[in-house]
Amino acid sequence: MVDFFFENGFIRADTPILTATAAEGTTNLFATTYYDLGTAYLTQTGQLYLEAAVYAHGLVYNFGPTFRAEKSKTRRHLSEFWMVEAEEAYYDNEDNMALQERLVQYLIGRCLEMCREELKILERDIQPLEAVVNRPFASITYDEAIALLQRQGSPIQPGEDLGGDEETALGLHFGRPVFVMNYPKAIKAFYMKEDPGRPDRVLCADLIAPEGYGEIIGGSQREDDYEKLRQRMEALGIPTEPYRWYLDLRKYGSVPHAGFGLGIERTVAWIAGIAHVREAALFPRMLYRIYP
């Protein structure tokens, strides 16, 4: 993976684990007291800091642990996991998706090249993986996904987020990775760029793996307009003072940019054909597990 980013001109920019802000709200974060400066949080993403780095370096990425205090008891959730994240100056959402496709195909290709014996030991059927390397990924809008799911009998309604069952159904339907694009703004994070042609949507895409493994990447074009970003934060009741440095990135000059985060354990679980994401972590942390 490091070779992929190096070959594509990216610079590694490690981001802090303790932060004073959150990319998607603080309700699902682990909090601690940070000296006399108030509350700090174990990071849920390095994205905001990577966005600052793109102004100096253009293309940046990082590897790091992330923490989510979600009370989820599914086979796809961990409370502590690792992500590889990238931010790209002058990329739009389409460029961002193309980069993700190349990265995932690179990862699959390298595994098939170097780890066939390990995959054989795991009794992994490699034919679905070989198909990924040689075929373009599918793509579908959120509205098209809702219509497709409803035709299959799903009770999901327009405006609702996709859950595990819906992601599984879409992955099985396409039989290959599929991007679900342009979600409603109301159910996505404040930093995602508004679709100019449809202001109630944002320029984003989730990449859903086939074979029932669900979302492995979330990405979007970032809002680079200062006023739109500030107004969006105010509408959501997000205090702007802790994010003043982030807003200043737009206030004093910005560029179009996009980025994504790939969940490493989920991706490993898919490639290896593992039934539960906990088997992709040496010491998994889940809702009811912190020992050893």
* pLDDT at residue 183 tops 70: yes
Continuous segment of H or E residues that includes residue 116: helix 116-121
Q: From CA 21, how far away is CA 220, in angstroms rounded?
A: 19
Positive or negative CA dihedral for 189, 132, 147, 153? Answer: negative
Least confident range of 25-39, 42-56, 142-156: 25-39
Least confident range of 26-30, 189-193, 224-228, 251-255: 26-30
- Output the CA–CA distances (angstroms, integers) from residue 6 to 2, 60, 258, in the order listed: 6, 10, 18
Provide the pLDDT for residue 176: 95
AA letter at 229:
L
pLDDT in tens, 95-138: 999 999 999 999 999 999 999 999 999 999 999 999 999 899 99
**114-150 in b/e burial notation, b at 16+ Cβ within 10 A?**
ebeeebeeeebebebbeebbeeebbbbebeebbebbe
- Output the CA–CA distances (angstroms, integers) from residue 153 to 145, 147, 159, 215, in the order listed: 13, 10, 17, 21
* pLDDT at residue 63 tops 80: yes
**Contact yes or no for 286/78 (Cβ under 8 A):** yes
Q: From CA 258, how far away is CA 104, in angstroms rounded?
A: 17
At residue 26 the predicted structure's pLDDT band, cuts being 50, 70 and 90, is low
Positive or negative CA dihedral for 71, 77, 80, 85? Answer: negative
Fold of 83-280: BirA Bifunctional Protein; domain 2 (3.30.930)
pLDDT in tens, 155-170: 999 999 999 999 999 9
Q: From CA 276, how far away is CA 280, in angstroms rounded?
A: 8
* pLDDT at residue 79 tops 80: yes
Share of the chain above pLDDT 90, in %: 81
